[in-house]
Structures are given as C-alpha cells and as structure tokens.
Amino acid sequence: MHKNYINKIIITALFFSGMSDAKNLSNEEITKMVNNIKKERAGITLATLDGTANPFIIYVPKEKVKEVKVAGKVIKKVVVHKLKAIMNHAAFIDEKWYKQGDKMGEYTIGYISSSSVRLKSARESKTLNLKKKTKSLIKINKGNR
C-alpha cells in the first residue's frame, strides 16, 4: 500500500478513538475543563517582549544598477527604478509608496500622472512609465442592457 494512504488510515483511526473517549466524559468533567480554560493566565510581560528579537524578516530590495558603456568601457552606472503602480496621486516605486514632493534618494518625486512619474535631481530629470500589459487578466462582458 501507498505510505500516504496508510498514514491517513492511522490518523483517522486515532481521531475516531479520541472521539469515543470524549463521549465517556460526564457533564461535571466537561464543565471543569471549560472552567480551566476560562481562567485568566499570566501571559508574558511587556518588559520580556522588549528583550526579544524581531521574528519578522524585512525585505529590502537591492538597488538595480545599469552600466552605461562606450566602446566596451563603463563610463557611468545608473540606478534603475521600477514604477509598478499609480493610485490616488501616489506612485509605488521600488517597493515603496511615494507622493509628489517626496524624496527618493537623490531624486524628488515631481509630477505623477495616470501612467508615469517625473523624477528630478540637481543633475537630471527622468520619467518612469508604467509597463503596458499585453493580456488583461479580467474580462468584462457588458452584455445587453
């Protein structure tokens, strides 16, 4: 027999054997168990929590750099920013939301349109555009009204 099939049979048998034990409990025993659950427990103090390490891993995307080459020689490295969404006059760039006037490294977020964002620095200006999707995931059927 297949190992997973045997494991399922064993787990099912254990479950049903536990169910038959539950039928043998008296009302007093059940009431006592419920009251034990209701009792207030001490829990952990805030002072103890302050000393613990953060269990969450914070994702920090690496900066994407594009090299500009002339005759095979790198003349400068350019940071590539990725615009992923625009909503309510805010832009989602490099995994963070920005609004007009916010700083993003050496750049300031300029104008935010419905499909692009203008970045300005002391040296240059550049435009980030939303990529157009070739295939829509949602189809709307207007039908007859």
A 10 A CB-CB count for 123 gives: 7
pLDDT of residue 103: 95
A 10 A CB-CB count for 106 gives: 12
Q: How many residues does the chain have?
A: 145
Interval 47-79: pLDDT, tens? 888 888 888 887 766 777 888 888 888 877 777
pLDDT confidence bin for 100, thresholds 50/70/90 = very high
HEC readout, 23-88? HCCCHHHHHHHHHHHHCCCCCCCHHHHHCCCCCCCCCCCCCEEEEEEECCEEEEEEEECCEEEEEC
Interval 16-29: pLDDT, tens? 666 655 667 788 88
Where in the chain are the domains? 3-37, 80-129
pTM over 0.75: no
pLDDT of residue 12: 80
A 10 A CB-CB count for 112 gives: 20
12 Rama sector, left if φ>0, alpha if ψ -120 to 50, beta otherwise: alpha
